[in-house]
Structure 1
């Protein structure tokens, strides 16, 4: 298959939404880029629309029930900080970077989700120390490219302040610019989280979120300048995309509180879960209900009766309940017993204590106990699209695609690089390509 480009740089601005487009068209670097690009401002995301499943979908062209990353975190009842789907081994099937590597291409990924231990030449995976005895630097080094990360940390580590934003994205930017100029990768995947973090803590339309968009504009400009300095600008395809949108919320739903009261979750004196028959696994704007034993008819009956009662009153925060089969048809985890969609203004927590519904304060969000805006909601929610902009070699300029899906992005990237992801859920958006 013929390659359409020599270099592909994919920049994911986490939580970039259709509602951001008017401002993007005013910011200098985004404005200039969009004017030369082809784009879709109505990209349908996946279910659940959380970061790790979304990014696995982008590089596989498949829905979560097929690539296996069905949530950000694992089912670990009672853990305050469950482990995430950090590692490449959790993805079923091939990925864009796997196929690029097989074709002899030079690959790079900076904080791209689900890439720990991936076969990527220059890999700085998104992973954090999740045990008291772990330290961030060795955890990152062990799961990515050690010499590359040591080099980036020695040059730019002073920029970072742990996982705090915007410093973390500023560090990623510096490493991205350096990697472009010194390594000139054929495929580069970059993940920026500043906007998503500000929206979680301050709200969707907050000044802090807007400031993050201004910072992203400056980051974009520096990345484009780096390709010019490296002499690869004319032979590069650039893609700017979001993974999901977000919605403001002010109330948190804690279904596990009720499941514990019904005797379906047992905890010891220290509050640690010792046994569970049913568990509400949060995806923020949606939630999975798992039953521990498939043949536990009594538990399923109890959960069904509880959910039916809660659904009768909108103040309980549940907009919709679907079965595992229906979840599977939507691309989510089909092994669940039920899947819940939160009503607008609500989201789900896995907390076991307190009231079933709690109001969220600004202080709760600043302390990261709760959030003021989140995602994970159904792609069927109105005005909940993300975006896609592409420009450069191999892209026909000025094409506006009315609608596309997140699963279409991976196959389209593969076609640009002359690769094939095989039988995917998505399709190549040929209208965008200079064939």
Structure 2
């Protein structure tokens, strides 16, 4: 397949919403991309709409039930901090960066989810954090990415970091990105910024802190565009700016595993730790999977259904919809679950199995425990005002095209087409409307 570009920068601004369009359209560096760019103001996300499945979808063009990353975290009942889908091995099938590698292109990735130990990424700083008492951040990063590259970035810019705190983390990622563009000159650069997502979780969707993060993202974008121009490759490069999901404000957390424990579908020891379980609520924030330890345990499955039906009677319990595993699969989620449940607006799910079923969340709760949030995602793409955003400009992109309808699954095949790559049979389709076929290399 003949490509239209051999240089591409994909910038993911985590939690960038379609509702941010009016604001970002006024910002000077976003405007630099809008001037000759084409965009989709409303991009339908996936189910569940959480970060790791979304980013796996972006690079595969497939829904979670096909690429295999069905949640941020692994199913580890009772573990207070479950492991995440950090590693490339979690993704089934090929990816954009692997096909680029096969085509002889150089790839760099900075905090792009689900890239740990990805052999095809020559310059890799994966998104991962220490999740064991004996681990530290530098060690787990080095073991999961490109050690020499990471040493270089930490030596130069490590002083900017403050653990995983924002906005310092994104400041580190920005300087690392600028350095990578100028020195490493990758053909494909994937970079993930999470400042906005963090501020929305901690303060709310339309908080001043979230607006401040968008403004900082505009400044970061400007630095990246300037670095690209200084590298002399601006005219040869495609710039892609995208979000992965939106967010909704919340003030109540649902702890369904407490009900399962009370109904003897879960047992705990004297220390409150789970000894055994028959049913478990695996949270995806605005939605949740319910898994059975034995998928063939029809008695437990029926008991769970009775619990859910009873809770559904009262809207104040926070459950908006209950789906079977088959129905979840048809929406692109994990069909192996027994049920998938959707939270009402203002509610989200946590996996705690102690305390109260419903927790009203205050600002103080958020600062005391990072499990609590004032906004989150994970909801169904069918929720109103819940779309994300896509913007592309530069090599191979027609200017000033407005895409009326687009899905997150369409991004992967579209980027592959621009690079002359093939992701195979995907759930998404190429958005031909924005492609400048006359610029074929």
RMSD: 0.6
Separation in 1, partners of 2:196, 2:366: 15
1:278, distance to aligned residue in structure 2 (A): 0.1
SS of 1:364's equivalent? Answer: helix
Counterpart in 2 of 1:73?
73
Cα deviation code 1:266-291 (max 9, x no counterpart): 11111211100000000000000001
- The answer to whether residue 387 in structure 2 is matched with residue 385 in structure 1 is yes
1:81, distance to aligned residue in structure 2 (A): 0.6
Aligned residue runs from structure 1 range 5-404, under 5 A = 5-119=5-119, 120-367=121-368, 368-404=370-406
1:34, distance to aligned residue in structure 2 (A): 1.6
Separation in 1, partners of 2:230, 2:87: 33
Separation in 1, partners of 2:296, 2:334: 18
1:403, distance to aligned residue in structure 2 (A): 1.1
Count of residues in correspondence between the two structures: 435
1:80, distance to aligned residue in structure 2 (A): 1.2
Of 94-103 and 25-34, more deviation after overlay is shown by 25-34
1:364, distance to aligned residue in structure 2 (A): 1.3
Separation in 2, partners of 1:226, 1:374: 33
Separation in 2, partners of 1:369, 1:102: 40
Separation in 1, partners of 2:103, 2:30: 32
SS of 2:42's equivalent? Answer: strand
Cα deviation code 1:156-192 (max 9, x no counterpart): 0000011000000000000000000001110000000
Counterpart in 2 of 1:408?
410
TM-score normalised by L of structure 1: 0.99
Cα deviation code 1:226-271 (max 9, x no counterpart): 0111110010000000000000000011100000000111111112
Separation in 2, partners of 1:64, 1:227: 33
SS of 2:392's equivalent? Answer: strand
Cα deviation code 1:339-366 (max 9, x no counterpart): 0000001000001111111100111112
Runs of 4+ in 1 over 3 A off after TM superposition: none
Separation in 2, partners of 1:407, 1:167: 31
List runs of 5+ in structure 1 lacking aligned partners.
Answer: none
1:369, distance to aligned residue in structure 2 (A): 3.5
Separation in 2, partners of 1:20, 1:295: 45
1:6, distance to aligned residue in structure 2 (A): 2.3
